[in-house]
């Protein structure tokens, strides 16, 4: 999902802008990485939902093979691991991350750790171009492009912190830390950001 969305009221969300996109897929570990889920392998409910969303022009959805979607989600995760916690801690909109040169080193350190974890994931071994796709340079290029496109947006984590809600930090930077540990990799910068966000949100309760 590459749409900007903000919550206006309980059960009411607003789509901010019409230039985003959304990729969908059905998780099926038994499938070939290059094949789309077919009606025979996907539940009727999942198939119906995906078909309706792909038909809706406003959300610009496309269906992807599971392994391609998995890699796309990892790339999105890398960007979220930088943008969300930093904008939440500093209470700024996305574009401020590029305007502050003091943040460049921390962003680079975060992406270095994330790149190492991604390139060691067992499920990606043997796939073509994995090392290049998840290189620090590629992740930085994607990060900058995303921030430029969403410069005026307020990240979901920033909005959660401002509203006193729990954040998804444990499932983004926290996941990087846990997966890194399983792979024998330390991710101190991601760990630090996770702890800072958890501390910030606990103080607001």
Beta bridge partners of 6: 14
The shares of helix, strand and coil residues in the chain, as percent rounded to the nearest 5, are 60, 10, 30
CA nearest 169: which of 120, 202, 133, 123?
A: 202
Report how far residue 81's alpha carbon sits from residue 10's, in angstroms, rounded to the nearest whole number: 26
Q: Is 76 among the catalytic positions?
A: yes
Q: What are phi and psi of 86, to 5 degrees?
A: -70, -40
Catalytic residue among 8, 76, 149, 200: 76
Residues belonging to the active site:
76
């Amino acid at each position: 999902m590459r749409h900007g969305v903000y919550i206006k009221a309980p059960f009411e969300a607003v789509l901010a802008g019409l230039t985003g996109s959304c990729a969908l897929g059905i998780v099926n570990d038994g499938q070939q990485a290059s094949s789309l889920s077919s009606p025979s392998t996907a539940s009727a409910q999942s198939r119906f939902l995906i078909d309706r969303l792909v038909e809706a022009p406003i959300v610009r959805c496309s269906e992807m093979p599971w392994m391609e979607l998995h890699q796309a989600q990892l790339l999105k995760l890398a960007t979220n691991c930088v943008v969300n916690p930093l904008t939440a801690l500093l209470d700024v909109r996305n574009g401020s991350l590029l305007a502050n040169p003091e943040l460049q080193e921390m962003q680079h350190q975060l992406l270095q750790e994330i790149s190492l974890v991604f390139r060691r994931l067992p499920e990606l071994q043997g796939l073509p171009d994995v090392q290049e796709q998840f290189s620090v340079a590629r992740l930085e290029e994607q990060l900058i492009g995303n921030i430029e496109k969403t410069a005026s947006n307020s990240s979901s984590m920033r909005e959660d912190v401002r509203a006193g809600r729990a954040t998804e930090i444990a499932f983004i930077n926290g996941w990087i830390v846990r997966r890194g540990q399983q792979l024998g990799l330390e991710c101190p910068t991601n760990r630090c950001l996770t702890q800072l966000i958890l501390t910030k949100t606990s103080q607001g309760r």
